[in-house]
Structure 1
Amino acid sequence: MKGILDRFEGNLAIILIEETKEEIQIKKENLPEGSDVHSYFQLTKEEGTYSIVRLDKDQTEKEQQKSADLMTKLRAKSSGSKWKK
């Protein structure tokens, strides 16, 4: 199961699990080293409790590249403002 680090709220990391449409909170200190907003994780669920198995660096890099490519395409289509300055 995969989760993405959506944001930090104080000392908590908010992780979204798209597969189950759930949101979990984990203390920042319990995150794997190198975790940041938009990082992907492999998760496991045992007895109703989620645990991070590992930071999924490959998935994180793949999704960041997709976002960067999309932004490049959007910027290329932009012809500037139609409003006079």
Structure 2
Amino acid sequence: MKTEAMIDRFTETGQAVLLAETIGREFLIEKNELPEGAERGDYLALELEGDVVLSIELDQEKTIERKSAVQSKLAKLRERSSGSRFKKR
């Protein structure tokens, strides 16, 4: 089965925590098993067999798309924020 996952964080023991939202699963993968250059927030294409991750590929297109969407939302929030309603003395 194929699914996508995001690198949520890295543990102190050198593992990556992958969140596969579409199937509601979390996977712990050794950091050295990730594609070269993969970092927190990147999206991956996973090939699964049951609970076993058979292959991992970096999904650069999805990563760029999601990071762009986040930047766009942050920019909109900054535009709306005109500062504090309270006056300084």
Q: How far apart in 2 are the matches of 1:80 and 1:52?
A: 48
Stretches (4+) displaced over 6 A: none
The one of 19, 36, 40 aligned to 2:39: 36
List runs of 5+ in structure 1 lacking aligned partners: none
**Counterparts of 2:50 and 2:73, CA distance in 1:** 39
TM superposition shift of 1:48: 2.6
| Structural RMSD (CA) | 1.2
CA contact (8 A) 1:41 1:52 kept: no
State which of 1, 4, 8 in structure 2 corresponds to 1:2.
4
Matches within 5 A, 1:39-58: 39-58=42-61
Question: For residues 41-80 of structure 1, what are the structure 2 equivalents within 5 Å?
Answer: 41-80=44-83
AA of the residue aligned to 2:6? I
Q: Deviations over 1:34-74 (max 9, x none)?
A: 10111000001114302343100010001000000000000
TM normalised by structure 1 equals: 0.92
TM-score, normalised to structure 2's length? 0.88
Partner Cα distance (2:55, 2:43) in 1: 10
Unaligned regions of 5+ residues in structure 2, if any? none
Percent of aligned positions that are identical: 33
